[in-house]
Structure 1
Amino acid sequence: MSITLYIVRHAKAEDRAIFMADFDRKLTSEGVMAAARIGRYLHGKAIQPDIIVSSPAPRAKETANVVAEQLGYEVAQIQFDEKLFEGGPKAYLAAINAVPSASQTAMIVGHNPDVTYLAEFLTHQRINSMSKGAVVGITFEDVTWAEISGRTGSITFQIAPKQLSINDEL
């Protein structure tokens, strides 16, 4: 039996202003559109996560909300894990290991460099740096969510908003 994880990096956010905390940065209009393109692309691939877990930082939360809307996932069901903001890759792994065993698919939305490190750790495949709004699909065979660790998954696809044409979104 296989389970699938989708790792999403938040889309483009506003630049950090002098008096703005990094946590408080929101998506730009370009970021909102990029998240929508990724969501439409995933919807077109019939991807429907059983659970979405996101960093509570506004830029990640907004990305999760926009992607969820495109997938027909109930936005109110998105779970937020405060440890995903500045918690490092271990926080992401802990969130993945806590996914309910009944779930076949999960999505986690967060920040670089943690999401890139996580994808590379889980698959032992080099993906370089995930671009803003990018998603990596990883499949795991014959393990539970609680058993996921390094080198247990395989990348099934990797896509960024800039790689999508209008035809890909329809």
Structure 2
Amino acid sequence: MTCTLILTRHAKSAWDTNVPSDHARPLNKRGRRSAPAIAAWLRDNGYVPDQVISSSAQRTRETCELMDLGVPARFTERLYQANSEIMFRVLSEADQPRIMLIGHNPGIAAFAHSIVSSPPDHSRFDDYPTGATLVAEFAISSWRDLAWSSGKPIDFSVPRELLGE
């Protein structure tokens, strides 16, 4: 049996807002176009998760909502600005075989690099831009058996490619 991780950085967020905190920053126009494009790519390739586990920040919530994947979503403060170790712990507690994590840089890029056995052949994997999405498979039957550097990259995409920008 395998478990599949879909690791998505939130779509492009707005910086020119009067929100009271970084946690409350919304998506910008490009981000609101990108999230549905990521979802369409996931659906077209058969990568729809069983569950989404997302940071509780406004921009990750909006990314998840605009993807409209039709699966249960859980929003947790633990993934807000989380490092690799925290992401690993959150994922190892998951109970569905296909999990999507939505989070933030720099933690999500570091986690992506640490969780796969080798990087996918894509020029944007190293910087993991907004909306970047990695699909990786793990030869485990439960996320409790997750190990560092054990994922096999299956696919990787960024919204600019999907939107033809």
TM-score by length of 2: 0.89
Sequence identity of aligned pairs in percent?
A: 25
| Equivalent runs, 1:1-170 vs 2, <5 Å | 1-15=1-15, 20-67=20-67, 69=68, 71=69, 73-74=70-71, 77-100=72-95, 103-126=96-119, 127-165=125-163
Cα distance in 1, alignment partners of residues 17 and 29 from structure 2: 17
Which runs of 5 or more residues in structure 1 are unaligned?
none
One-letter amino acid of the structure 1 residue matched with residue 105 of structure 2: N
After TM superposition, give the deviation of residue 35 of structure 1 in Å: 0.6
Q: What SS is found at the alignment partner of 1:94? A: helix
Cα distance in 2, alignment partners of residues 31 and 18 from structure 1: 18
CA deviation profile, 1:135-165 (whole Å, cap 9, x unmatched) = 0001001352012121111111110011115
The answer to which of 105-114 and 42-51 deviates more is: 42-51
Which runs of 5 or more residues in structure 2 are unaligned?
120-124
Cα distance in 1, alignment partners of residues 163 and 22 from structure 2: 31
Whether contact under 8 Å (1:11, 1:63) holds in the other structure is yes
The answer to which of 87-96 and 114-123 deviates more is: 87-96
Cα distance in 1, alignment partners of residues 102 and 32 from structure 2: 14
Give the paired residue count. 159
Larger helix percent: 1
CA deviation profile, 1:106-148 (whole Å, cap 9, x unmatched) = 1000001111111111114343011111100010013520121
Q: What SS is found at the alignment partner of 1:26? A: coil
- The RMSD of aligned alpha carbons is 1.7
Whether contact under 8 Å (1:16, 1:25) holds in the other structure is no
One-letter amino acid of the structure 2 residue matched with residue 97 of structure 1: S
Aligned pair in 2 of structure 1 residues 19, 32: CA closer, same or farther (>3 Å)?
closer
Cα distance in 1, alignment partners of residues 98 and 154 from structure 2: 13
One-letter amino acid of the structure 2 residue matched with residue 35 of structure 1: A
Match of 2:122 in 1: none
Q: What SS is found at the alignment partner of 1:164? A: helix
Structure 1 runs (4+) deviating above 4 angstroms are: 16-19
